[in-house]
C-alpha cells in the first residue's frame, strides 16, 4: 500500500516533482467523524513526499481553512501545483465558504518557496463560475455551484497559463450538463474565465478532477465521475461504478467529445492522476473508494500505464 493512514481517510490527490522527490498533496479527514460522508466538510490538505511513488513520508499539512469571511472558510478541496518561471510554487485549490453554507465552489491559490510552507494569496477567489456560460447557484435546478478541481498547465513553448476546472453548463439536460471549465492567465494571479471547452449533453453531469497530459505521445484528458452522475445510457452499459476515465484529445484541446471517453477499469481507483516518474515512466495514482459497500480511503501503489490513440489510457 502506497499511503494508508490508520486514523484518517484519504481521497483526492495531486502531485508535484522537485527534481528529487515526488510531493503528494491529498484531502484527508479523521476517522473519528464516524461517517465517511462527513469527511467532505471536515477536511485538510495533507502532504507526503517520496522518491519512488511507493514509500511515503507524511510531513506537515499544506492547507487549512481560513477564518471567516473568506471564500475558503468552510473547506479547502482539490487542486494542482505548478512552478512559475521565477521558481515559486503555486497551488491552486477549491474553496467553499461558511457564509453561503458551502454551496458555492470557487478557486484560489497559495504560494510556497519550498513546497512545505504555503501562504494563501487572500480571502477572495481568483476564479468563479461565470453565469454567461456556467450553471450557478441561482439556477432553479441547482443545489450547488460547481467551480472546482483546478488543473493548471502551459502548452509547450507557450507563455499563457490555462486552467481547466469542473463545471456545469447553464443549459441542457440537467444530468448531462458537465463541461470542462476554462480560464487563462499570463501571470497566475489574474485569471480570465472563458467559455467551456466542451458542450453539455455528452453523458456526464460532472467531470471531476480533470487533468491534461501527453502520455507517450498521446494527448489525453483524464477525469472521474460517480455512477449517479452519468447518463442512463452509460449507466446501462457500465453499471453502478465510480470510475476514472480517459479521453484522447486534440493537442490544442479543441472539439472535445466526451461521448468517446473510456472508463479505465484495469486499476479501479477514483480521481486517478497521471504521474510521471523518471525511472518507471507514466503511472496512474488515485484512491480506493467504495469496496463491498464500505468506504476505504487510501492510496494504493502506482499502476504503470501508457496510452494509444484508439483506447486512450491502457495498462503498461
Q: Which three cell numbers stand for residue 121?
A: 494569496
DSSP symbol at 104 = B
Q: Quote the pLDDT of residue 84.
A: 98
Domain assignment of residue 42, yes or no: yes
Domain assignment of residue 2, yes or no: no
Q: Quote the pLDDT of residue 185.
A: 98
Q: Are 25 and 13 in contact (CB under 8 A)?
A: yes
Q: Are 222 and 312 in contact (CB under 8 A)?
A: no
Query: What is the domain count for the chain?
Result: 1
Q: Quote the pLDDT of residue 292.
A: 87
Domain assignment of residue 90, yes or no: yes
Domain assignment of residue 302, yes or no: yes
pLDDT of the chain, 316 residues: tens digit per residue:
689 999 999 999 999 999 999 999 999 999 999 999 999 999 999 999 999 999 999 999 999 999 999 999 999 999 999 999 999 999 999 999 999 999 999 999 999 999 999 999 999 999 999 999 999 999 998 999 999 999 999 999 999 999 999 999 999 999 999 999 999 999 999 999 999 999 999 999 999 999 999 999 999 999 999 999 999 999 999 999 999 999 999 999 998 999 999 999 999 999 999 999 999 999 999 999 998 889 999 999 999 999 999 999 999 9
Domain assignment of residue 3, yes or no: no
Cβ-count burial 48-87 (b if 16+ within 10 Å, e if not) = bbbeebbebeeeeebbebbeeebbbbbbbbbbbbbeeeee
Domain assignment of residue 308, yes or no: yes
Please choose, from the candidates 104, 189, 208, the residue with its C-alpha nearest in 3D space to the C-alpha of residue 149. 208
Q: Any idea what the CATH number is for the domain that residue 273 is in?
A: 2.115.10.20
CB hemisphere CA count around 223 (13 angstroms): 31
User: Cα separations (Å) of 313 from 114, 207, 305?
Assistant: 32, 17, 7
3-state secondary structure at position 12:
strand
Domain assignment of residue 91, yes or no: yes
Domain assignment of residue 69, yes or no: yes
Q: Quote the pLDDT of residue 44.
A: 98
Domain coverage including residue 210: 8-315
The pTM of this model reads 0.97
Amino acid at each position: 500500500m502506497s499511503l494508508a493512514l490508520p486514523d484518517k481517510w484519504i481521497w483526492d490527490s495531486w502531485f508535484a516533482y522537485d527534481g528529487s522527490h515526488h510531493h503528494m498533496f491529498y484531502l484527508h479527514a479523521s476517522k473519528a467523524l464516524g461517517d465517511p460522508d462527513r469527511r467532505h466538510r471536515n477536511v485538510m490538505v495533507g502532504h507526503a513526499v517520496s522518491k519512488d511513488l511507493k514509500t511515503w513520508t507524511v510531513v506537515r499539512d499544506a492547507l487549512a481553512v481560513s477564518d471567516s469571511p473568506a471564500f475558503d472558510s468552510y473547506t479547502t478541496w482539490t487542486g494542482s501545483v505548478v512552478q512559475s518561471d521565477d521558481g515559486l510554487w503555486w497551488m491552486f485549490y477549491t474553496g467553499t465558504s461558511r457564509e453561503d453554507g458551502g454551496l458555492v465552489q470557487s478557486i484560489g491559490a497559495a504560494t510556497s518557496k519550498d513546497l512545505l510552507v504555503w501562504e494563501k494569496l487572500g480571502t477572495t477567489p481568483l476564479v468563479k463560475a461565470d453565469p454567461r456560460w456556467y450553471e450557478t447557484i441561482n439556477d432553479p435546478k441547482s443545489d450547488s455551484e460547481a467551480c472546482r478541481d483546478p488543473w493548471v498547465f502551459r502548452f509547450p513553448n507557450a507563455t499563457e497559463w490555462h486552467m481547466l476546472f469542473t463545471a456545469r453548463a447553464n443549459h441542457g439536460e440537467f444530468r448531462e450538463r458537465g463541461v470542462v471549465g476554462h480560464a487563462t492567465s499570463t501571470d497566475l494571479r489574474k485569471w480570465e474565465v472563458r467559455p467551456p471547452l466542451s458542450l453539455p449533453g455528452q453523458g456526464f453531469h460532472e467531470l471531476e478532477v480533470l487533468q491534461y497530459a501527453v502520455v507517450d505521445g498521446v494527448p489525453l484528458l483524464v477525469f472521474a465521475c460517480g455512477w449517479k452522475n452519468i447518463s442512463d445510457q452509460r449507466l446501462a452499459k457500465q453499471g453502478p461504478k465510480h470510475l476514472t476515465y480517459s479521453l484522447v484529445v486534440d493537442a490544442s484541446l479543441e472539439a472535445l467529445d466526451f461521448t468517446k471517453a473510456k472508463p479505465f477499469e484495469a486499476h479501479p481507483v477514483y480521481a486517478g492522476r497521471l504521474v510521471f516518474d523518471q525511472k518507471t515512466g507514466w503511472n496512474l495514482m488515485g484512491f480506493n473508494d467504495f469496496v463491498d459497500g464500505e468506504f476505504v480511503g487510501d492510496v494504493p501503489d502506482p499502476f504503470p500505464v501508457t496510452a494509444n490513440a484508439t483506447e486512450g489510457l491502457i495498462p503498461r
